[in-house]
Structure 1
Amino acid sequence: MQAARGTPVDDRDDGTGRTRSGLLAHRGSWLLFAAVAAVMIAVDQVAKVLAVRHLTGEPDVEVVGELLQLHLTYNPGAAFSLGTRFTVAIACLACVATLVVLWTSRRVVSRVWAVGLGLLLAGIDGNLIDRLVREPGPFRGHVVDFLMLPNWPVFNVADICINVGVGLILLQVLRGVNLDGTRAQHSHGETDPETDPGTPAEAEEES
Protein backbone atom coordinates (compact mmCIF):
# COMPACT_ATOMS: atom_id res chain seq x y z
CA MET A 1 0.00 0.00 0.00
CA GLN A 2 1.32 3.41 -0.94
CA ALA A 3 2.30 5.67 1.94
CA ALA A 4 0.22 8.77 2.61
CA ARG A 5 1.23 11.79 0.54
CA GLY A 6 4.27 13.52 2.11
CA THR A 7 4.88 10.70 4.63
CA PRO A 8 8.09 8.65 4.27
CA VAL A 9 7.46 4.90 4.00
CA ASP A 10 9.68 4.15 7.02
CA ASP A 11 8.00 6.83 9.19
CA ARG A 12 4.41 5.60 9.04
CA ASP A 13 2.30 4.73 12.07
CA ASP A 14 3.15 1.16 13.11
CA GLY A 15 -0.23 0.62 14.78
CA THR A 16 0.82 1.91 18.21
CA GLY A 17 -0.16 5.50 17.56
CA ARG A 18 3.46 6.57 17.01
CA THR A 19 5.53 6.99 13.89
CA ARG A 20 8.92 5.32 13.59
CA SER A 21 10.66 8.63 14.33
CA GLY A 22 8.38 9.10 17.34
CA LEU A 23 9.31 5.65 18.67
CA LEU A 24 13.01 6.39 18.20
CA ALA A 25 12.60 9.71 20.03
CA HIS A 26 10.83 7.92 22.90
CA ARG A 27 13.56 5.28 23.09
CA GLY A 28 16.31 7.90 23.11
CA SER A 29 14.61 9.94 25.82
CA TRP A 30 14.00 6.87 27.98
CA LEU A 31 17.65 5.88 27.67
CA LEU A 32 18.58 9.44 28.69
CA PHE A 33 16.28 9.11 31.70
CA ALA A 34 17.86 5.79 32.69
CA ALA A 35 21.41 7.07 32.20
CA VAL A 36 20.83 10.20 34.29
CA ALA A 37 19.28 8.13 37.08
CA ALA A 38 22.04 5.49 37.07
CA VAL A 39 24.92 7.99 36.94
CA MET A 40 23.56 10.21 39.70
CA ILE A 41 22.73 7.26 41.97
CA ALA A 42 26.33 6.13 41.55
CA VAL A 43 27.67 9.64 42.26
CA ASP A 44 25.49 9.90 45.37
CA GLN A 45 26.56 6.53 46.76
CA VAL A 46 30.27 7.07 46.06
CA ALA A 47 30.10 10.51 47.70
CA LYS A 48 28.48 9.00 50.80
CA VAL A 49 31.08 6.24 51.06
CA LEU A 50 33.87 8.79 50.83
CA ALA A 51 32.16 11.05 53.36
CA VAL A 52 31.86 8.25 55.90
CA ARG A 53 35.43 7.11 55.26
CA HIS A 54 37.09 10.51 55.54
CA LEU A 55 34.80 12.56 57.80
CA THR A 56 33.99 10.11 60.61
CA GLY A 57 35.41 11.53 63.83
CA GLU A 58 36.97 14.45 61.96
CA PRO A 59 36.24 18.19 62.34
CA ASP A 60 34.26 20.04 59.69
CA VAL A 61 36.11 20.67 56.42
CA GLU A 62 35.75 24.07 54.77
CA VAL A 63 35.26 23.77 51.01
CA VAL A 64 34.29 27.37 50.25
CA GLY A 65 35.10 29.10 53.50
CA GLU A 66 32.06 29.05 55.79
CA LEU A 67 29.71 29.06 52.80
CA LEU A 68 30.07 25.34 52.10
CA GLN A 69 31.48 22.87 54.60
CA LEU A 70 31.64 19.10 54.92
CA HIS A 71 29.93 17.94 58.08
CA LEU A 72 29.04 14.27 58.51
CA THR A 73 25.67 13.45 60.03
CA TYR A 74 23.12 10.65 59.85
CA ASN A 75 19.51 11.54 59.10
CA PRO A 76 16.64 9.14 59.98
CA GLY A 77 14.09 11.40 58.26
CA ALA A 78 13.39 12.69 54.78
CA ALA A 79 15.33 15.27 52.77
CA PHE A 80 16.75 18.10 54.88
CA SER A 81 16.05 16.20 58.14
CA LEU A 82 12.25 16.35 57.81
CA GLY A 83 10.06 13.68 59.43
CA THR A 84 12.76 12.07 61.56
CA ARG A 85 10.17 9.99 63.46
CA PHE A 86 8.76 8.30 60.37
CA THR A 87 11.75 6.46 58.90
CA VAL A 88 9.88 3.28 57.95
CA ALA A 89 6.94 5.20 56.45
CA ILE A 90 9.32 7.40 54.45
CA ALA A 91 11.13 4.31 53.12
CA CYS A 92 7.81 2.77 52.04
CA LEU A 93 6.75 6.02 50.35
CA ALA A 94 10.10 6.08 48.54
CA CYS A 95 9.40 2.58 47.17
CA VAL A 96 6.00 3.71 45.91
CA ALA A 97 7.49 6.90 44.44
CA THR A 98 10.09 4.82 42.59
CA LEU A 99 7.36 2.74 40.94
CA VAL A 100 5.40 5.87 40.01
CA VAL A 101 8.43 7.51 38.38
CA LEU A 102 9.31 4.34 36.47
CA TRP A 103 5.72 3.99 35.24
CA THR A 104 5.62 7.64 34.19
CA SER A 105 8.92 7.30 32.33
CA ARG A 106 7.28 4.83 29.92
CA ARG A 107 5.63 7.77 28.14
CA VAL A 108 8.54 10.21 28.13
CA VAL A 109 9.66 11.77 24.84
CA SER A 110 10.69 15.26 25.97
CA ARG A 111 14.36 15.29 26.93
CA VAL A 112 13.82 17.90 29.64
CA TRP A 113 11.19 15.64 31.18
CA ALA A 114 13.63 12.72 30.83
CA VAL A 115 16.37 14.55 32.73
CA GLY A 116 13.94 15.79 35.37
CA LEU A 117 12.49 12.32 35.99
CA GLY A 118 15.96 10.77 35.96
CA LEU A 119 17.20 13.20 38.62
CA LEU A 120 14.06 12.67 40.68
CA LEU A 121 14.50 8.89 40.57
CA ALA A 122 18.19 9.22 41.48
CA GLY A 123 17.33 11.38 44.48
CA ILE A 124 14.59 9.08 45.71
CA ASP A 125 16.60 5.89 45.29
CA GLY A 126 19.90 7.37 46.45
CA ASN A 127 18.39 7.97 49.88
CA LEU A 128 16.26 4.81 49.73
CA ILE A 129 19.42 2.69 49.38
CA ASP A 130 20.68 4.17 52.65
CA ARG A 131 17.38 3.34 54.37
CA LEU A 132 17.61 -0.25 53.18
CA VAL A 133 21.28 -1.08 53.84
CA ARG A 134 22.56 1.20 56.59
CA GLU A 135 22.20 0.95 60.35
CA PRO A 136 20.07 0.33 62.33
CA GLY A 137 18.43 -1.99 59.76
CA PRO A 138 16.33 -2.40 56.61
CA PHE A 139 13.73 0.36 56.14
CA ARG A 140 15.10 2.03 59.28
CA GLY A 141 18.55 2.96 57.98
CA HIS A 142 19.82 6.49 58.48
CA VAL A 143 20.73 8.56 55.43
CA VAL A 144 24.27 9.95 55.17
CA ASP A 145 24.32 13.76 54.90
CA PHE A 146 27.53 15.74 54.62
CA LEU A 147 27.02 19.04 52.76
CA MET A 148 26.41 22.03 55.02
CA LEU A 149 25.43 25.60 54.15
CA PRO A 150 24.93 28.42 56.68
CA ASN A 151 21.50 28.32 58.34
CA TRP A 152 20.43 25.31 56.26
CA PRO A 153 19.94 21.61 57.12
CA VAL A 154 22.80 19.29 56.17
CA PHE A 155 22.08 17.52 52.88
CA ASN A 156 23.59 15.22 50.24
CA VAL A 157 23.80 14.68 46.48
CA ALA A 158 20.47 12.80 46.40
CA ASP A 159 18.71 15.79 47.98
CA ILE A 160 20.17 18.04 45.27
CA CYS A 161 18.91 15.65 42.59
CA ILE A 162 15.40 15.70 44.05
CA ASN A 163 15.25 19.48 44.08
CA VAL A 164 16.70 19.97 40.60
CA GLY A 165 14.50 17.20 39.20
CA VAL A 166 11.34 18.66 40.72
CA GLY A 167 12.39 22.09 39.43
CA LEU A 168 12.71 20.80 35.85
CA ILE A 169 9.38 18.99 36.07
CA LEU A 170 7.63 22.11 37.39
CA LEU A 171 9.25 24.15 34.61
CA GLN A 172 7.79 21.81 31.99
CA VAL A 173 4.38 21.88 33.64
CA LEU A 174 4.38 25.68 33.76
CA ARG A 175 5.45 25.80 30.11
CA GLY A 176 2.60 23.46 29.24
CA VAL A 177 4.94 20.82 27.83
CA ASN A 178 3.65 17.25 28.07
CA LEU A 179 5.70 14.11 28.60
CA ASP A 180 5.60 13.42 24.86
CA GLY A 181 7.05 16.85 24.08
CA THR A 182 3.82 18.39 22.79
CA ARG A 183 2.35 21.51 24.32
CA ALA A 184 -0.95 21.36 26.18
CA GLN A 185 -2.37 24.07 23.93
CA HIS A 186 -0.87 25.53 20.78
CA SER A 187 -1.34 29.19 20.03
CA HIS A 188 -3.14 28.46 16.73
CA GLY A 189 -4.90 25.26 17.82
CA GLU A 190 -2.41 23.06 15.96
CA THR A 191 -1.34 19.59 16.96
CA ASP A 192 2.21 18.36 16.98
CA PRO A 193 2.81 16.50 13.70
CA GLU A 194 5.33 14.14 15.31
CA THR A 195 2.92 12.72 17.89
CA ASP A 196 -0.45 13.19 16.19
CA PRO A 197 -1.24 9.86 14.48
CA GLY A 198 -3.68 11.45 12.03
CA THR A 199 -2.72 14.13 9.50
CA PRO A 200 -4.87 15.88 6.88
CA ALA A 201 -3.07 13.99 4.15
CA GLU A 202 -3.75 10.64 5.83
CA ALA A 203 -7.40 11.53 6.37
CA GLU A 204 -7.75 12.41 2.69
CA GLU A 205 -6.03 9.15 1.68
CA GLU A 206 -8.38 7.09 3.86
CA SER A 207 -11.49 8.78 2.46
Structure 2
Amino acid sequence: MAMGILLIAIDQCIKVAVKLHMGLGEQIVVFDWFRIDFIENRGMAFGMEIGSKLLLSLFRIVAVGFIIWYIGKKIRQGRPLGFILILTMICAGAAGNIFDSLFYGQIFTESVPYGEPAQLVAWGEGYAPMLMGRVVDMFYFPLFHGTFPTWMPFWGGEPFIFFSPVFNFADACISVGVALFLIFYRKELDAETHRS
Protein backbone atom coordinates (compact mmCIF):
# COMPACT_ATOMS: atom_id res chain seq x y z
CA MET A 1 0.00 0.00 0.00
CA ALA A 2 2.72 2.47 0.98
CA MET A 3 4.70 1.64 -2.15
CA GLY A 4 1.67 2.32 -4.33
CA ILE A 5 1.08 5.70 -2.69
CA LEU A 6 4.78 6.56 -3.05
CA LEU A 7 4.80 5.68 -6.77
CA ILE A 8 1.65 7.72 -7.41
CA ALA A 9 3.14 10.67 -5.47
CA ILE A 10 6.39 10.53 -7.50
CA ASP A 11 4.40 10.38 -10.75
CA GLN A 12 2.18 13.31 -9.82
CA CYS A 13 5.06 15.47 -8.54
CA ILE A 14 6.92 15.02 -11.84
CA LYS A 15 3.81 15.75 -13.93
CA VAL A 16 2.80 18.83 -11.93
CA ALA A 17 6.36 20.21 -12.10
CA VAL A 18 6.43 19.75 -15.88
CA LYS A 19 2.94 21.22 -16.33
CA LEU A 20 3.68 24.30 -14.21
CA HIS A 21 7.20 24.98 -15.52
CA MET A 22 7.22 24.03 -19.21
CA GLY A 23 5.24 25.08 -22.25
CA LEU A 24 3.63 22.30 -24.28
CA GLY A 25 6.24 21.01 -26.75
CA GLU A 26 9.15 22.50 -24.82
CA GLN A 27 12.17 20.23 -24.53
CA ILE A 28 15.06 20.09 -22.07
CA VAL A 29 18.08 18.14 -23.29
CA VAL A 30 19.59 16.33 -20.30
CA PHE A 31 21.88 14.13 -22.43
CA ASP A 32 21.89 13.38 -26.16
CA TRP A 33 20.05 10.17 -25.33
CA PHE A 34 17.65 11.57 -22.67
CA ARG A 35 15.31 14.55 -22.89
CA ILE A 36 12.39 15.99 -20.98
CA ASP A 37 9.89 16.62 -23.78
CA PHE A 38 6.51 17.93 -22.56
CA ILE A 39 3.59 16.51 -24.49
CA GLU A 40 0.01 15.70 -23.54
CA ASN A 41 -2.12 12.88 -24.85
CA ARG A 42 -5.67 11.66 -24.58
CA GLY A 43 -4.75 8.03 -24.99
CA MET A 44 -3.08 5.10 -23.35
CA ALA A 45 0.57 4.34 -22.68
CA PHE A 46 3.10 5.98 -24.99
CA GLY A 47 0.46 8.26 -26.54
CA MET A 48 -1.63 5.56 -28.24
CA GLU A 49 -5.21 6.69 -28.79
CA ILE A 50 -7.93 4.05 -28.70
CA GLY A 51 -11.64 4.87 -28.72
CA SER A 52 -13.36 7.63 -26.78
CA LYS A 53 -11.67 9.48 -23.93
CA LEU A 54 -14.60 8.96 -21.56
CA LEU A 55 -14.69 5.20 -22.19
CA LEU A 56 -10.93 4.99 -21.75
CA SER A 57 -11.13 6.86 -18.42
CA LEU A 58 -13.96 4.64 -17.18
CA PHE A 59 -12.08 1.52 -18.32
CA ARG A 60 -9.01 2.67 -16.37
CA ILE A 61 -11.06 3.20 -13.21
CA VAL A 62 -12.66 -0.26 -13.48
CA ALA A 63 -9.24 -1.84 -14.21
CA VAL A 64 -7.65 -0.20 -11.16
CA GLY A 65 -10.58 -1.29 -9.00
CA PHE A 66 -10.15 -4.86 -10.24
CA ILE A 67 -6.38 -4.80 -9.63
CA ILE A 68 -6.88 -3.49 -6.08
CA TRP A 69 -9.41 -6.28 -5.42
CA TYR A 70 -7.01 -8.85 -6.93
CA ILE A 71 -4.09 -7.59 -4.82
CA GLY A 72 -6.23 -7.89 -1.67
CA LYS A 73 -7.22 -11.44 -2.64
CA LYS A 74 -3.58 -12.42 -3.23
CA ILE A 75 -2.48 -10.88 0.09
CA ARG A 76 -5.14 -12.97 1.89
CA GLN A 77 -3.84 -16.06 0.05
CA GLY A 78 -0.34 -15.34 1.37
CA ARG A 79 1.29 -14.75 -2.02
CA PRO A 80 4.98 -13.72 -2.07
CA LEU A 81 5.80 -10.07 -1.40
CA GLY A 82 7.45 -9.71 -4.83
CA PHE A 83 4.20 -10.76 -6.50
CA ILE A 84 2.24 -8.18 -4.51
CA LEU A 85 4.78 -5.40 -5.16
CA ILE A 86 4.75 -6.02 -8.91
CA LEU A 87 0.95 -5.86 -9.01
CA THR A 88 1.16 -2.69 -6.91
CA MET A 89 3.51 -1.11 -9.49
CA ILE A 90 1.03 -1.84 -12.29
CA CYS A 91 -1.90 -0.54 -10.24
CA ALA A 92 -0.05 2.63 -9.17
CA GLY A 93 0.89 3.37 -12.78
CA ALA A 94 -2.69 3.01 -13.95
CA ALA A 95 -3.92 5.15 -11.04
CA GLY A 96 -1.36 7.87 -11.81
CA ASN A 97 -2.70 8.26 -15.34
CA ILE A 98 -6.29 8.18 -14.06
CA PHE A 99 -5.53 11.17 -11.83
CA ASP A 100 -4.50 13.16 -14.90
CA SER A 101 -7.78 12.34 -16.65
CA LEU A 102 -9.88 12.95 -13.56
CA PHE A 103 -8.36 16.14 -12.22
CA TYR A 104 -5.98 17.95 -14.58
CA GLY A 105 -8.76 19.34 -16.78
CA GLN A 106 -10.39 20.72 -13.64
CA ILE A 107 -7.37 22.33 -11.93
CA PHE A 108 -5.03 23.51 -14.72
CA THR A 109 -5.34 26.01 -17.52
CA GLU A 110 -4.74 24.83 -21.09
CA SER A 111 -1.11 24.06 -21.91
CA VAL A 112 -0.18 26.26 -24.87
CA PRO A 113 2.28 24.94 -27.48
CA TYR A 114 5.64 26.65 -26.91
CA GLY A 115 3.90 29.27 -24.76
CA GLU A 116 3.57 30.03 -21.09
CA PRO A 117 3.27 27.06 -18.73
CA ALA A 118 -0.18 26.11 -17.44
CA GLN A 119 -1.46 27.70 -14.26
CA LEU A 120 -3.10 26.05 -11.28
CA VAL A 121 -6.69 27.34 -10.97
CA ALA A 122 -9.67 26.89 -8.66
CA TRP A 123 -11.55 23.60 -9.00
CA GLY A 124 -13.71 23.54 -12.13
CA GLU A 125 -12.03 26.51 -13.84
CA GLY A 126 -9.62 24.37 -15.86
CA TYR A 127 -9.52 23.43 -19.53
CA ALA A 128 -11.74 20.31 -19.53
CA PRO A 129 -14.53 18.54 -17.65
CA MET A 130 -13.83 15.74 -15.19
CA LEU A 131 -12.55 12.52 -16.81
CA MET A 132 -11.48 14.49 -19.89
CA GLY A 133 -8.10 15.82 -18.73
CA ARG A 134 -5.03 14.99 -20.80
CA VAL A 135 -2.22 12.74 -19.59
CA VAL A 136 1.15 14.47 -19.20
CA ASP A 137 4.13 12.69 -20.78
CA MET A 138 7.74 13.85 -20.65
CA PHE A 139 10.45 11.18 -20.78
CA TYR A 140 12.07 10.77 -24.19
CA PHE A 141 15.01 8.44 -24.80
CA PRO A 142 16.22 8.71 -28.42
CA LEU A 143 18.93 6.13 -27.73
CA PHE A 144 20.16 5.85 -31.29
CA HIS A 145 19.34 6.92 -34.82
CA GLY A 146 19.63 4.66 -37.82
CA THR A 147 18.37 3.87 -41.28
CA PHE A 148 16.43 0.76 -42.24
CA PRO A 149 18.27 -1.38 -44.82
CA THR A 150 17.16 -0.59 -48.38
CA TRP A 151 16.13 -4.22 -48.97
CA MET A 152 13.54 -4.03 -46.16
CA PRO A 153 9.92 -3.89 -47.42
CA PHE A 154 7.92 -0.70 -46.72
CA TRP A 155 10.58 1.08 -44.61
CA GLY A 156 13.72 0.40 -46.65
CA GLY A 157 16.02 3.43 -46.63
CA GLU A 158 13.84 5.30 -44.10
CA PRO A 159 15.46 6.83 -41.01
CA PHE A 160 14.35 5.66 -37.56
CA ILE A 161 14.92 6.54 -33.93
CA PHE A 162 15.07 3.91 -31.23
CA PHE A 163 13.29 4.50 -28.66
CA SER A 164 10.92 7.20 -29.87
CA PRO A 165 7.82 7.06 -27.61
CA VAL A 166 7.46 9.82 -25.02
CA PHE A 167 6.13 8.46 -21.73
CA ASN A 168 5.69 9.27 -18.04
CA PHE A 169 6.61 7.66 -14.73
CA ALA A 170 3.21 5.94 -14.49
CA ASP A 171 3.71 4.35 -17.92
CA ALA A 172 7.14 3.14 -16.76
CA CYS A 173 5.60 1.60 -13.62
CA ILE A 174 3.08 -0.29 -15.75
CA SER A 175 5.65 -1.44 -18.33
CA VAL A 176 8.28 -2.49 -15.78
CA GLY A 177 5.62 -4.16 -13.62
CA VAL A 178 4.24 -6.18 -16.54
CA ALA A 179 7.76 -7.17 -17.65
CA LEU A 180 8.71 -8.29 -14.12
CA PHE A 181 5.43 -10.16 -13.78
CA LEU A 182 6.04 -12.05 -17.04
CA ILE A 183 9.66 -12.80 -16.11
CA PHE A 184 9.07 -13.98 -12.54
CA TYR A 185 5.43 -15.06 -12.25
CA ARG A 186 4.25 -16.19 -15.69
CA LYS A 187 4.36 -19.88 -14.75
CA GLU A 188 2.23 -19.21 -11.68
CA LEU A 189 -0.27 -17.27 -13.79
CA ASP A 190 -0.41 -20.13 -16.31
CA ALA A 191 -0.93 -22.65 -13.48
CA GLU A 192 -3.65 -20.48 -11.93
CA THR A 193 -5.40 -20.18 -15.31
CA HIS A 194 -5.37 -23.97 -15.78
CA ARG A 195 -6.79 -24.52 -12.26
CA SER A 196 -9.76 -22.22 -13.00
TM over 0.5: yes
Q: Does structure 2 conserve the Cα–Cα contact (< 8 Å) formed by 1:113 and 1:168?
A: no
Q: Could you say which structure has the larger radius of gyration?
A: 1
Shift of 1:163: 0.4
Describe the shift of the 1:99–1:63 C-alpha distance in structure 2 as closer, same or farther (beyond 3 A).
same
Instruction: Show the 5 A alignment for 1:28-43.
Output: 34-43=1-10
In structure 2, the partner of 1:31 is none
Shift of 1:86: 2.3
Instruction: Show the 5 A alignment for 1:117-132.
Output: 117-132=87-102
Describe the shift of the 1:58–1:124 C-alpha distance in structure 2 as closer, same or farther (beyond 3 A).
closer
Residue segments in structure 2 that go unaligned for 5+ positions in a row: 106-127, 143-160
Shift of 1:153: 1.9
Instruction: Show the 5 A alignment for 1:5-20.
Output: none
In structure 2, the partner of 1:167 is 179
Q: Does structure 2 conserve the Cα–Cα contact (< 8 Å) formed by 1:75 and 1:143?
A: yes
In structure 1, the partner of 2:15 is 48
In structure 2, the partner of 1:139 is 131
Superposition RMSD on alpha carbons, in Å? Answer: 2.1
C-alpha distance in 2, partners of 1:57/1:145?
10
List per-residue Cα deviations over 1:88-145 (Å, max 9, x = no partner). 1111111111111111112232111111111101110000000001222211110011
Alignment-mate amino acid for residue 142 of structure 1: R
Alignment-mate amino acid for residue 28 of structure 2: V
C-alpha distance in 2, partners of 1:48/1:124?
14
**Identity of matched residues, %:** 29
Shift of 1:84: 5.5
Deviating beyond 4 angstroms after TM superposition, the runs of 4 or more aligned structure 1 residues are none
When you count strand as a share of all residues, which structure comes out higher? 2
Q: How many residues align?
A: 146
Alignment-mate amino acid for residue 117 of structure 1: L
- When the two structures are superposed, what TM-score results if normalisation uses the length of structure 1? 0.65
Structure 2 residue 60 is matched with structure 1 residue 105 = no
Instruction: Show the 5 A alignment for 1:87-102.
Output: 87-102=53-68
- When the two structures are superposed, what TM-score results if normalisation uses the length of structure 2? 0.68
C-alpha distance in 2, partners of 1:105/1:58?
37
